[in-house]
Chains A and B, each alone.
Chain A
Amino acid sequence: SSELTQDPAVSVALGQTVRITCQGDSLRSYYAGWYQQKPGQAPVLVIYGENNRPSGIPDRFSGSTSGHTASLTITGAQAEDEADYYCNSRDNNGNHLLFGGGTKLTVL
């Protein structure tokens, strides 16, 4: 399969921990990247590789992988974390990039 599957929507209470998941066969071979996108803005990479954060990304964001499922965890979600989150990987041929369908995170 050359697809990445995400739950369409997830909610979390302010200050609590939330996990957003992404499933796909390619994740058995490649670590997922995770992107945050707020309305009207370009996406921002928040996690890449095994569990790396680009400069400026808060340490409440972390990533993990188990089998064909990658997870983005936000520990102590803040109001500003409300956004759409996308995972990405590459297909098993290595030639194409893949994006998941996105998860809309609501912070209650």
Chain B
Amino acid sequence: EVQLVESGGRLVQPGGSLRLSCAASGFTFSSNWMHWVRQAPGKGLVWVSRINGDGSSTFYADSVKGRFTISRDNAKNTLYLQVSSLRAEDTAVYYCARVLTGYYVGYWGQGTLVTVSS
């Protein structure tokens, strides 16, 4: 059974940084593209970033490019998202996700909440 468990979300001040983690199990982690998707309170889903299996290829939404960094440790079956220069509008639940096929997200974690506020 595919399991994705996020952690690391907390209250942080504007301009601050933190690292989100996603522990994956139940599938061959190193063979899969992985994604981060976020959802602000009461708002819709927004794709944030993706990374290929060996970590050599990454893509970012324009809204986070230059501030967020996606990475992975295949030995630990863990996905990361380093978020920095945080703004109030980055407040959201951040989901770790894996596609079922193509660009269709078939597996989601439970999410971790990042709150940016002074």
Q: Chain B interface: which of A9-17, A64-72, A84-92?
A: A84-92
B95 near A42: Cβ-Cβ < 8 Å: yes
Main secondary structure, interface of B, reads strand
A42, B44: Cβ atoms under 8 Å?
no
Contact of A101 (CB < 8 Å), options: B44, B95, B106: B44
- Shortest Cβ distance from residue B39 to the other chain A in the assembled complex, whole angstroms: 9
Q: In chain B, residues 73-112, which have Cβ atoms closer than 8 Å to a Cβ of chain A?
A: 95, 100-106, 108-111
CA distance A37 to B45 in the complex (A): 10
Residue of A nearest to B35 (CB): A97
Does B72 reach chain A (CB closer than 8 Å)?
no
* Known contacts A43-B108, A86-B44: A48-B50 contact under CB 8 Å: no
Cβ-defined contact, A45 with B106, below 8 A: yes
List the A side residues contacting B110 at CB < 8 Å. Answer: 42
Total residues of chain B contacting the partner, CB 8 A: 21
Is chain A's interface secondary structure helix, strand, loop, or mixed overall? strand
Provide the bound-state CA to CA distance between A33 and B61, in Å. 19
Near B by CB (< 8 A), chain A positions 4-49 give 30, 33, 35, 37, 42-45, 48-49
Contacts of A88 in B (CB 8 A): 45, 47, 103-105
CB of A12 to closest CB in B, whole Å: 20
* Least Cβ–Cβ distance between A57 and chain B, in angstroms: 11
Point out residues on A near B: beta carbons under 8 Å. 30, 33, 35, 37, 42-45, 48-49, 54, 84, 86, 88-90, 95-102
Q: Which residues of B contact A (CB under 8 A)?
A: 35, 37, 44-47, 50, 59, 61, 95, 100-106, 108-111
Could you list 19 A-B pairs, sorted by A, with CB under 8 Å?
A30-B103, A33-B103, A33-B104, A33-B105, A42-B109, A43-B105, A43-B108, A48-B100, A48-B102, A54-B100, A86-B44, A88-B45, A88-B105, A89-B103, A96-B61, A97-B35, A97-B37, A99-B46, A100-B44
| Closest CB pairs A-B (n = 10) | A48-B104, A42-B108, A97-B47, A33-B104, A102-B44, A99-B45, A90-B103, A95-B59, A101-B44, A45-B106
